[in-house]
Amino acid sequence: MPISPKTLSSIQQAGAAVFNADAELKSVVKDYAQKVQQAMLQNPFDIGNDGLFEEWKTVARLSLALEQIESEFRKIYSTAERLNTTEVLGMSKSPALAAPAAYAASSIPLLVPVDATDVVIKKPRKSKAVANRTKEQRPVKGNSAKLLARLMEVLNPVSFTSVNRAEVGRSAGLAVGSIGASITQLIKSGYLLEDASRGLKLVTPAR
């Protein structure tokens, strides 16, 4: 029996709703990044910064969960559409086989429920960083402060991100020769972590 156009439309609309919600949530994540940036620039040792980082991480987890759900909706719609195509070609007229008795009473879920607050971010293997917290961060000035402000727009404290360091440095107004030294300084000062593949991520200030 083919899946009705109404059902296909409902699946498509549900997927579109999740996609739109994810887009809105990504905008919220960006807003949090700007708030964190301002807070760090104004007073990097403010105790309230830690709570702001935690909120940012939670919103980022929600966004990751929605991405997973939206991806599953794409698979569901694609499978349902393919079933209809199979019906049109007449392939569905083949005799149906009954499910084995051992499995007839059970069903296989297409989707595994996702708890947005329990999304696990896998850490890269052989990472130089062993934790996302470090000792008290030391204030930075000059080129390092400029670069930190720019990196806070493109990095997050949840996962390592591969960035074009030269491009980020230039967009922050740094000379090419000073970019590497500024990144090293930010790592030593406790603002960044670097993994084995040279990916970077922000560090949550120590309590």
Structure tokens at 164: 């074009």
Segment 44-48 mean pLDDT = 75
Q: How far apart are CA 169 and CA 150, in angstroms?
A: 8
Segment 158-167 mean pLDDT = 88
* Contact (CB, 8 A) for 191 and 140: yes
Give the C-alpha distances (Å, rounded to integers) separating 126 from 175, 192, 195: 31, 17, 8
Give the C-alpha distances (Å, rounded to integers) separating 63 from 37, 147, 162, 180: 20, 26, 19, 31
pTM of the predicted model, to two decimals?
0.38
Mean pLDDT of the chain: 74
Q: Domains of the chain by range and CATH? A: 5-93 (1.10.287), 120-207 (1.10.10.10)
Residue 200: the pLDDT is: 92
